[in-house]
Copies of this chain bind each other. A is one copy, B any other.
Amino acid sequence: MDNRVIIDADVLWEESFEKILELLENKRYFQARDELLKFNAVDIAYMLEDITEETDIDMTIILFRLLPKDVSAEVFSELSTDNQVEIVNVITDKEIDFILQELDFDDKIDILEELPANMVDRILEKTPKNERKLINTFLNYPDNSAGSLMTPDYISLRKEWNVAQALEHIKEVGMDAETIYTCYVRDNGRKLLGIVSLSTLVISSDDTKIMNIMRTDYVYENVFDDQEDVSEDFKKYGFLALPVVDNEHRLVGIITVDDILDVMEEEATEDIERMNGVIDFENSDKGYLDKSVMQHALNRLPWLVILMVAYVFTGMLITGFEGRLSEIICLVAYMPMLMGTGGNTGSQAATLIIRGLATDEVDTSDVFKILWKEVRIGALLGAVLSIINFGRIIWLDGNDYSVALTVCLAMLFIVIFAKVLGSMVPLLVKKLNLDPALIANPAISSVSDIVALSIYFVMAMVILGL
């Protein structure tokens, strides 16, 4: 029991890592390998990534080739694409063969999707014909569809079997199935009839017929369903795996919950980026550091250019008001505050509504409830901010009461307007069946900029008689 590695303990990890680096420097590769093998496959992959960063890819390749064959396949599937490519480039065909044999089907698909085309060809050459056909089908499902997430490795039972036969069957094929915790009952035409969990099998008596314990009120996905909807179902029902069927209700694969964790992270990242004006045109899994400067610039340019156009209007507003502004030039000093507060307060509302829509907490049918809520929130916040500002303008800046009144009334109306704008626009966009996150916070702040200036200037005309 003493060789149990406390994986949680970052200290232990760091110690081992330093030790491995030192061993590698002294070319004591086998000892480094043994130290590495104290960890599980996921951790070994993480370590190899760090080793590549600290030293170079050669060290990683040496260590990788020293790993026992059964470990190396799992480690391979956890490595970054860059490192996978490097490794596929140098290892022998026999080694590739072995890794491919050992990989789960959906890991294989993931890797093939990321590798360059010539690598994919090299790998497909070594794949038996019928598996190659299956791989090609899977590679053709659209990105982000249920089909692209699923694995064909599942346990399939027949409804006329009894529990003992089912358990026997699981023992025979079980090793290759990604998850055996839910088994699927199909008819002769591969149509899905029901599901049985392994726990039900284990606690049922041996002679119970499958048809009597299978559940028919199961939830399932279609191969073309969007991964976001799939992850909603996992969250809603709390299942470990969901079956995927084609348009004829034939079972074609299953999706397991561990892949959904990644989907949820991806979807949240996409929403967060979109909300703040970054659109990932490549739609890649690449991290920040892996994207080129050009790609980063392209992802960020569209919103900045759209905003540029919006600012032509604020510019025109100011130019139109220029003559009057130069009469009471101190009004200029409060412009950034009014526009900035409008923008931020609008973004706050938009953020809450966009997120609420994403998590199904609010719905477009709640529009009037939300409107009434935001009007009151806006009035409350606007009043508080106006009072603070009134004091500041008179005592700190030493300006007139009339200037203070102009700024503060404008502030009140701007905040209320921005809250309404920020909350209503996402609902409208959703109603049009578009992604609310795409009408990003920058858009809402620039519209509220224009309106804020208009309100301010109208107030100035009314109160200051400009």
Give which listed residue, B38, B322, B388, B449, contacts A340 with CB less than 8 A.
B449
In the assembled complex, A325 has its CB within 8 A of some CB on chain B: yes
Give which listed residue, B198, B289, B332, B356, contacts A288 with CB less than 8 A.
B356
Q: Which of A171, A271, A381, A384 has the most CB of B within 10 A?
A: A381
In the assembled complex, A128 has its CB within 8 A of some CB on chain B: no
7 A-B pairs, CB-CB below 8 angstroms?
Answer: A46-B236, A268-B268, A303-B348, A304-B385, A305-B385, A307-B340, A322-B330
Q: Which residue of B lies closest to A384 (CB)?
A: B301
How many copies of this chain does one complex carry?
A: 2
The distance in angstroms between the C-alpha atoms of A171 and B325, with both chains bound, is 83
Of the listed stretches A116-124, A137-145, A218-226, A457-465, chain B binds A218-226
Q: How large is the interface on A (under 10, 10 to 19, 20 to 34, 35 or more residues)?
A: 35 or more
The distance in angstroms between the C-alpha atoms of A289 and B374, with both chains bound, is 11
A contact face: mostly helix, strand, loop, or mixed: helix
The distance in angstroms between the C-alpha atoms of A373 and B295, with both chains bound, is 11
Contact B315 A381 (CB under 8 A): no
- Interface positions of A from 296 to 321, Cβ below 8 Å from B: 296-297, 300-301, 303-305, 307-308, 311-312, 314-316, 318-319
Residues of B within 8 A of A203 (CB): 170-171, 174-175
State the Cβ distance, A272 to closest chain B Cβ, in Å: 5
Of the listed stretches A3-11, A57-65, A91-99, chain B binds A3-11
In the assembled complex, A432 has its CB within 8 A of some CB on chain B: no
Contact B237 A42 (CB under 8 A): yes
Q: Which residue of B lies closest to A177 (CB)?
A: B199
State the Cβ distance, A188 to closest chain B Cβ, in Å: 14
Contact A276 B347 (CB under 8 A): yes
In the assembled complex, A136 has its CB within 8 A of some CB on chain B: no
Of the listed stretches A15-23, A26-34, A82-90, A253-261, chain B binds A253-261
Those 3 A-B pairs whose CB atoms lie nearest each other, nearest first:
A238-B258, A311-B337, A287-B361
Contact A308 B217 (CB under 8 A): no
A159-200 contact mask (Cβ, 8 Å, vs B): 1 or 0: 000000001001100110000110000000000011000110
State the Cβ distance, A433 to closest chain B Cβ, in Å: 14
A380-B294 CB under 8 A given contacts A261-B260, A289-B361, A344-B304: yes
Contact B301 A381 (CB under 8 A): yes
In the assembled complex, A75 has its CB within 8 A of some CB on chain B: no
Contact B216 A199 (CB under 8 A): no
In the assembled complex, A52 has its CB within 8 A of some CB on chain B: no
Give which listed residue, B8, B180, B257, B318, contacts A202 with CB less than 8 A.
B180
